[in-house]
Amino acid sequence: MATTPMRVLFLLLLSGFSLGAFAAKPVPDNLEPLPPPPALDSATNDEPEVTITKQTEQTVEEFRANGRVYMIKITPKIGAPYYMVDDRGDGKFSRQESLDSGLRPPRWIIHKF
């Protein structure tokens, strides 16, 4: 017997939502389609330019953004690759063994299953 008032309440709620949909303003007849979005130029492309130079003892990859070199990856034939990075944008490069910043978020075990 308790389900009948719930059904009535549900029916009233549902009819209220449907009345709200029918009460919306009518669509005007003079609508025009939106113009297409502007084409993207290669100058606004966010991808870096990469120049690869293969030498006898090493391979040098220069990474550029907006015409400025911001990172150089040097891969010697023997040994691990390393990076020369312009951190401040002043043209002075500092050597880094990897691009890892060293930041380690804490990893706590809350519960094991």
- Report pLDDT digits (tens) over 9-42: 888 887 777 666 666 677 778 888 888 887 766 5
pLDDT for the residue numbered 52? 93
pTM for the complete prediction?
Answer: 0.49
Are 68 and 82 within 8 A, CB to CB?
A: no
For residue range 63-100, list pLDDT tens digits in order: 998 888 889 999 999 988 889 888 888 888 888 777 77
In a domain, 91, yes or no: yes
Domain range for residue 90?
A: 49-96
Domains in the chain, number: 1
Residue 113 has pLDDT above 90, yes or no: no
Residue 55 covered by a domain: yes
4 assigned to some structural domain: no
Backbone angles phi, psi at 104, to 5 degrees: -120, 115
For residue 10, which phi and psi values (nearest 5 degrees)?
-65, -40
> Is 36 inside a domain boundary?
no
Looking up residue 81, the CATH number of its domain turns out to be 2.20.130.30
Tell me if 92 is assigned to some domain: yes
Q: What does DSSP assign to residue 44?
A: T
Is 88 a member of any domain?
yes
- Quote the pLDDT of residue 94: 83
